[in-house]
Structure 1
C-alpha cells in the first residue's frame, strides 16, 4: 500500500481523522467498488499508528457507508455515491437510468389533499384549490436511497387520481399524457438529521445525516406547478454544482441583454 499523505503526530487533528483522510484519498485514487482495503496490520505499519487508531478509523468509514466489513474476509469498498448534477430538471428515475442504476419504487402512496399554508404560498394556490401528494421510497440497485414526495396541482392533471402513476418517470408522464413541461425550478439544499421514520424507511441508523432538497418547479408562463420534498441518504447521494467564473458570468449576462 502506498501512503498518500504523511500523518502529523504533533497536529491538533486526531490521528484517526488524519488517517481517515489518507484512506479516503487512497480509495478514491486506487480502488473501485468491491475492492478490498489493505488489512489492518498493513495500514498500521504503513502509517505508524496503533491498531486501536486503525480500527477506529475503519469504524468511521463503515459508519459513513464508504466501506463494509465482512467477518473473516476483510473490509471492502462500498458503492460510490450517486452524484446528482444540478442545473437540469430531471426525474429521479431518469437520473438513475443515466447512471446505469436499476431503479425500484416502494411504498407508493397517492392522495388528493387540502394544501398546507406553506404549499398554498409556495404554489400560489387559489382558495379551495387541491393538490395531489405522491410519496415514494426510491431504490437504486435494490438499496433505499431517497424518500420522494411530489406535491402538484390537481387542476392541471385531470384523471390522475384514477389512473395513478402509469410510467416509471412522473415527468415523462406529465409531458406525454398532459403536455406539461417544466421550464425552470428553484431548489434549496439542507443537511439535517433524519427523523425516526425517515431512518427506518431508508435503512440507516437513528440520527444519521441526510441531504434534504426542496424544489419548486414552474411552467413556461411562470406558474408554479409543483413542490418536491426529497430526503436523500448522505452516504449514497451527492449533489454536484458547476459554477461560472465572474468573467464568464459577465459575458453570459451581456449576451442575454
Structure 2
C-alpha cells in the first residue's frame, strides 16, 4: 500500500487528509470483503498518531465504506445494495444473499380503507379492506429503505393479530397462507426525499431516492399487493440483464 503524503501545514486536518487518501486507495485497489491494513501499519505508513487513524476509520465506518469486526479487522463494505431485477424476491432474501445483517425498525401493521389508487391497481370490490405494513429496513445497521406493503386483507386472515413470523413478509405469506406470487409489474423513478423520509432514513433533506412501485399477482392472475419502496439513492442500485435485439427482415427494394 503506497500512501499519499499528508501535510501538517495544510488547513485540512490530518484525519480528513488521511480519509481522502484511504478512500482513494480503497476505490482503486480493493473490493468488498478485502481487509484494510491494521492500525499500527497505517500509523507508520502515514506518520500520524493512532488517534488520527482511529478517527479516520470511525468516519469511514459511519460513511459505510468499511466495517469493523471485533477480533478480525476492518473490511471493505459494498457501498451500494444491488437489487437484481427480473425475479420476485423478498428484500430480506436479497440482503441475506449479499451477506448483509438485516434489521427492521418502526414496524406498523394496520387495517385501512383503500384509496382510489389502491382500488384501481388491486381491482378491489367496494367492501374490501386493505392491510398496510410499513417498515424501515436496515442493512448492517444503516437505514436503506422505507417499505410499505398494501395487501388485500381477505387473503391473509389473522395477520393483523399475529403479525410477521420473522423478517420476511413473503416467507410469512408462503408458510402461513400458502400465497405465492407468480408475477409482478414494477416501476422505478428518481425523486427527492420528503422531510419525513429524510428523517426516517437519516439523510439530508432533498436527498436522492429511487422510488419503486410494484403490483404483485397471485398464481391465478389476481392482483394481491401494491408495494411502495423508497430507497436511498446513494446506497441502492438496480441490476438488469437485457437480451440482444431481435433481427428483423426488411423489404427494401421490394414493391
TM-score, normalised with respect to structure 2: 0.70
Contact 2:65-2:79 within 8 A present in 1 as well: no
State the Cα RMSD in Å.
2.7
Alignment of 1:112-123 (within 5 A): 112-123=111-122
Q: For residue 221 of structure 1, report the CA deviation from its aligned partner.
A: 1.0
**Alpha carbons of structure 1 residues 200 and 86: separation in structure 2 relative to 1, 3 Å:** same
Residue 205, structure 1, aligned to residue 232, structure 2: no
Q: 2:180 and 2:170 mapped to 1: Cα distance?
A: 8
Partner of 1:165: 164
2:214: which partner in 1? 215
Change (3 A) 1:124 1:27: same
- Within a 5 Å distance, the mapping from 1:99-114 to structure 2 comes to 99-114=98-113
Q: Residues 222-254 of structure 1: CA distance to partner in whole angstroms, max 9, x if unpaired?
A: 100000000001111111111111249x9xxxx
Q: Distance in 1 between matches of 2:143 and 2:186?
A: 22
Matched residues in 2 for 1:99 and 1:130: separation? 36
Greater Rg over alpha carbons, structure? 2
Query: How many angstroms apart in 2 are the aligned matches of 1:101 and 1:168?
Result: 13
Deviation of 1:31 (Å):
3.0
The residue that corresponds to 1:137 in the other structure is 136
| SS of residue paired to 2:199 | helix
Tell whether the 8 Å contact from 1:66 to 1:235 is kept in structure 2 after alignment.
no
> For 1:246, what is the secondary structure of its paired residue?
coil
What residue in structure 1 maps to residue 149 of structure 2?
Answer: 150
Kept in 1: contact 2:212–2:229 (CA 8 A) = yes
2:81 alignment partner in structure 1: 82
SS in 2 for 1:216: strand
